[in-house]
Structure 1
Amino acid sequence: MSNHNHACCGPGYASPADAIQAEREKLLYTIALYTGTGIEEPDYLATIDVDPNSPTYSQVIHRLPMPYIGDELHHFGWNACSSCHGDASKSRRFLVVPGQRSSRIYIIDVAETRSPKIHKVIEPEEIIQKTNLTAPHTVHCLADSHVMISMLGDSEGNAPGGFLLLNADFEIAGRWELSSGMNFNYDFWYQPRHNVMVSSEWGAPKTYYPGFDLDDVTAGNYGHHLHFWDWSQHKIIQSVDLGTEGLIPLEVRFHHDPDSTHGFVGTALSSNVWHWHKPNGHWQVEKVIDVPSVDVEGWAIPVPSLITDILISMSDRYLYFSNWLHGDIRQYDISDPSQPKLTGQVWCGGLLSKGGEVQGRKLQGGPQMLQLSLDGKRLYVTNSLFSTWDNQFYPDLAKSGSYMLQIDCDTENGGLKINENFYVDFGKEPAGPARAHEMRYPGGDCTSDIWI
């Protein structure tokens, strides 16, 4: 990768920084939920020991419960990342952890890396009063010390939502977008060298909160657009309709190389991956991977794979994604972004009954959230998507709780293999079975860092 401006707080590659980063990669934070399980306990932030030389390897070593019940903690991010390279005073000190269902935002202080503490709570009433937004999703830090959060609904849970800004003191600074043009909102990623932000579409909170209804698809209540924004002018300059072949585009990922215009998005319901780039001054989007639906006994329609999370290795060589309903994780070589080549596949549960066991435990649910070590060799996966959708498609998850697995990745020749020595059993938590979602390394990771 060329001309990366690495942050003081971002993943560095000189020897001292390597040593610091190796130390930070011994822990992993993950959201753990009781929302929707029938257990009246608050969701919490779990600290996982991922150091194979530690006596508490693959165990939850700390739990930080939130003060409220029913937040549905979901995605979360940092107050500072590699985009802050020009400001030596910035550090990756605070996690910004929103409640997708409550619209409450928690600021978590991780100065004590192994035992985070709540620093501040931003209540939903203040957010609604100042921005008329609800349902926070993706969190990215910006180079100007702001934190930006995609919001999926208005005060009534209607689309399209917008983008919330917090200042360096975690006070609400208003909305980022000057005009919209979106039908729905979901994920976003920006690349300042190309003066662009890309955003995707899920649906209105009032549509997906209760669960998935196929009638909502035919009624046009789910998204199928990618939006390209002018980063400096805060407005959409190009929207691409992916049509029926691109229903529910979720996670968007640019190459980490800030000079590159290449990126990818996975569409959940259509179960395919699309590639975008800007070859001639205009953003172009093409479908590059298709995962066929499969007939499953008891289902009225062929079951889509439901691509729910994707990420790109720091080397920009490999793309990974999870098929939540089918049950597999795939690795593709994207050295030629327009021609991905399947190089690895592993089964971790799913409806096709191909997932096996780890340490004698049957893998319930399907692989969902992914996080990758910076060297690209350790892929972590959890299996909860969203509380009502979990209950609908994998009702046993409420009783069994989540797993967290480690997948060993061959970064030379390609290939995936479940690490049998690592299994975090969220079914054995003190208050009862919990469900794990997104994961973050204390020192930064493949899905939170943006280079400028």
Structure 2
Amino acid sequence: MGTTTWRPDPTFYPSPELAGEAPAEQHAFVATFWRGEGEPGKDALAVVSVDPSAEDYGQVVGWCEMPNVGDELHHHGWNACSSALCPGSAHPHVERRYLLLMGLRSSRIHFVDVRDDPRNPTIAKVIEPEVYKARSGYSRPHTAHCGPEGIYVTNLGSAEGDEGPGGIALLDHDTFEVKGTWERDRGEQYLAYDFWWHLNHDRMITSEWGTPRQVENGVLPEDLLAGRYGNKVHVFDLVRRTHLQTLELGPQYQMALELRPAHDPDQQYGFVGVVLSLEDLSGSIWCWQRDGRDGDFTITKVFDIPAEPVADEDVDRLPELLRPFKAVPPLITDIDLSVDDRFLYVSCFGTGQSIQLDVTDPLHPRQVGEIRLGGIMTRASHPAAPDLPLAGAPQMVEISRDGRRVYWTNSLYGAWDDQFYPDGVGAWMAKADIDPGTGRMTLDERFFPHGDDFRGNRVHQTHLEGGDASSDSYCFS
């Protein structure tokens, strides 16, 4: 009789070091959404060629439209990744094949197959909003991570309406059925946004943005000035699914968004980006860490990015929301940590900066690089089109597994785009190369898909073929 050899997906790696030796990506998968005027268009997954040796490098080479109108694709994530190799809850039979594209407005989830023919993605399954809300207890799915026991999805709102509490739902790896609400005890967490974990230590970390009411039609100035957006980070027991700690940032710090834990599974620290301080409009980076292997967590502000003042004669160029302040806040809307835990990249949607921090000493980051593209006042151009002023800014950021390539897209969220860039953000994508020795960041002048390349859609999050810095968790050092 013959025997069957059971091998895990070759894109799964037991450790971050081995992941850093993985082959370079050939394609980038970009969530795009329609926010134009006139006849509604459809959101789509765009496929961009990222092989520098290919004739179509930097071009959109694939396109998969969603079947409905008005989903507003936002974040997306893999159905399975390297966490499937973790011994505590191993799932070596699953494969990295499907991207979950979530409609942040519609609460509809699409599973798109990108494995066999990445330039021709196909929709394999759709979870309709009514089913998702009824089975998960939530609405407005935001971020998905593949992890122990299944696919975890965070949500901004409750199933019943436009308020909270938000939280996490669990989906099956194989069938994509909604298992239900993840939390057994949510504790005092009400607002939701991002989540990630320290798998070897059975701890989940979560952050806060706002309820659907506070988000879907743009920033609510009265809620912002009253400090009603998220300003806490929470710690959960990952196995028992219970709330353990609340880490307070202070009421002046508004919108604690992206969480980036250390990739080294022996470590228990990570970074969160905070959009705004009500005191001076600055943005900030905070580091959480655990006191010993079994102690409590603490959180510390480790880096500030100041607002940029605007001269009186230029105040009329500011969007209405910012004119009373006569300044441009950096608006930290995304951060990403390289797989070797060396560099943190910070996106500033207001000023147009992407700042590269050396975080080898997590509590004392050092700025070592910066690029500028777009920005509310600067409208800095790309070297591939020096005469084209850019709207939007480096927003969602993704890093290759080997840390040598960094990608940005320029849209935040439709209603928020329109508040900060009322003349429109267009659509563009940029890339920088990172010198493996010095770490120097250099903008790639050959890579600049933009405008009509994305068929009138705006561009949000990118994931890279085979995995990237924000898609996998590891359990072995």
Provide the rounded CA distance (Å) in 1 between the counterparts of 2:37 and 2:13: 37
2-structure distance, mates of 1:20, 1:257: 17
Conservation of the 8 A alpha-carbon contact between 1:196 and 1:230: yes
The residue aligned with 2:438 is 413
Q: Does 1:169 align with 2:175?
A: yes
Q: Please report how far the alpha carbon of residue 109 of structure 1 lies from its aligned counterpart in structure 2 after TM superposition.
A: 1.2
Q: Which residue of 2 is the match for residue 374 of structure 1? A: 401
Residue 414 of structure 1 deviates from its aligned partner by 3.4
Instruction: Give secondary structure in 2 for the equivalent of 1:351.
Output: coil
Say whether residues 1:215 and 2:222 are aligned partners: yes
Aligned to 2:5: none
Shift of 1:10: 2.0
Which residue does the alignment assign to 2:27? 27
1: CA distance between counterparts of 2:40 and 2:359? 44
Displacement after TM superposition at 1:128 (Å):
1.8
**Is the 2:32–2:457 contact (alpha carbons within 8 Å) kept by the matching residues of 1?**
yes
**Which amino acid letter does the alignment assign opposite residue 116 of structure 1?**
P
Q: Which amino acid aligns with 1:295?
A: P
Say if 1:35 and 1:43, in contact at 8 Å, map to a contact too.
Answer: no
The reply on whether 1:53 has 2:65 as its aligned counterpart is no
Q: Which residue is equivalent to 2:324?
A: 300
Cα-to-partner distance string for 1:356-415 (whole Å, 9 max, x where unaligned)? 3332233221110101111211110010000001111113335xx211001122343333
Counterpart residue type for residue 108 of structure 1: V
Structure-2 change in CA distance of 1:196 and 1:379 (3 Å): same
Deviation at 1:183, TM superposition (A): 2.5
TM-score (norm 1): 0.93
- CA distance 1:176–1:59, change in 2 (3 Å): same
What's the offset of the Cα at 1:11? 4.5
C-alpha separation between the residues in 1 aligned to 2:146 and 2:14?
Answer: 18
Q: How does 1:293-442 map to 2 (within 5 A)?
A: 293-296=307-310, 297-298=315-316, 299-301=323-325, 302-353=327-378, 355-360=380-385, 361-397=388-424, 401-430=426-455, 433-442=456-465
- Aligned equivalents of 2:424, 2:448: Cα separation in 1: 16
C-alpha contact (below 8 Å) 1:274/1:288 kept by paired residues: yes
Aligned partner (choices 201, 226, 236) of residue 233 of structure 2? 226
- Cα offset for 1:315? 0.8
Shift of 1:438: 0.4
Counterpart CA distance in 2 for 1:77 and 1:36 is 25
Q: Specify whether residues 36 and 250 from structure 1 end up closer, same or farther in structure 2 by C-alpha distance, changes over 3 A only.
A: farther
User: What letter corresponds to residue 289 of structure 2 in structure 1?
Assistant: H
Shift of 1:245: 4.5
TM-score normalised to the size of structure 2?
0.88
State the partner residue of 2:118.
113
Name the SS for the 1:201 alignment partner. coil
Determine the C-alpha separation between the residues in 1 that align with 2:17 and 2:139: 43
Are 2:20 and 2:403, in contact at CA under 8 Å, matched by a contact in 1?
no
TM-fit CA distance, 1:88 = 3.0
Structure 1 counterpart of 2:439, which letter? G
Moved more, 40-49 or 302-311: 302-311
What CA distance in whole angstroms lies between the structure 1 residues aligned with 2:396 and 2:16?
Answer: 30
Does residue 261 in structure 1 map to residue 268 in structure 2? yes
> CA distance change for structure 1 residues 227 and 12 in 2, over 3 Å: closer, same or farther?
closer
CA 1:354–1:343 in structure 2 vs 1: closer, same or farther (change >3 Å)? farther
- Runs of 4+ deviating beyond 4 Å: 11-20, 36-39
- 1:284 pairs with 278, 298, 313, which one? 298
Q: Name the amino acid aligned to 1:306.
A: L
Task: Kindly indicate whether the alpha-carbon contact (under 8 Å) linking 1:160 and 1:183 is maintained by their aligned counterparts in 2.
Answer: yes
Give the 3-state SS of the residue equivalent to 2:217 in structure 1: coil
Shift of 1:70: 0.6
Amino acid at match of 2:303: I
Q: Tell me how far 1:106 sits from its aligned partner.
A: 0.4
Query: 1:184 aligned to 2:188?
Result: no
Percent sequence identity over matched residues?
Answer: 38
Partner of 1:3: none
2:129 to 113, 124, 127: 124
Unmatched 5+ stretches in structure 2:
1-7, 278-282, 317-322
The amino acid across from 1:324 in the alignment is F
Contact 1:185 1:202 in 2 (8 A): yes
How far does residue 435 in structure 1 lie from its aligned partner after superposition? Answer: 0.7
How many equivalent residue pairs? 440
User: What is the CA-CA distance between 1:127 and the residue it aligns to?
Assistant: 1.5
The superposition leaves residues 283-320 of structure 1 with CA deviations (integer Å, 9 ceiling, x where unpaired) of 01000001111223232113210000101111101111
Q: Which amino acid aligns with 1:149?
A: V
Q: Structure 2: which amino acid aligns with 1:448?
A: S
Partner Cα distance (1:219, 1:444) in 2: 40
Contact 1:322 1:330 (C-alpha < 8 Å) held by counterparts: yes
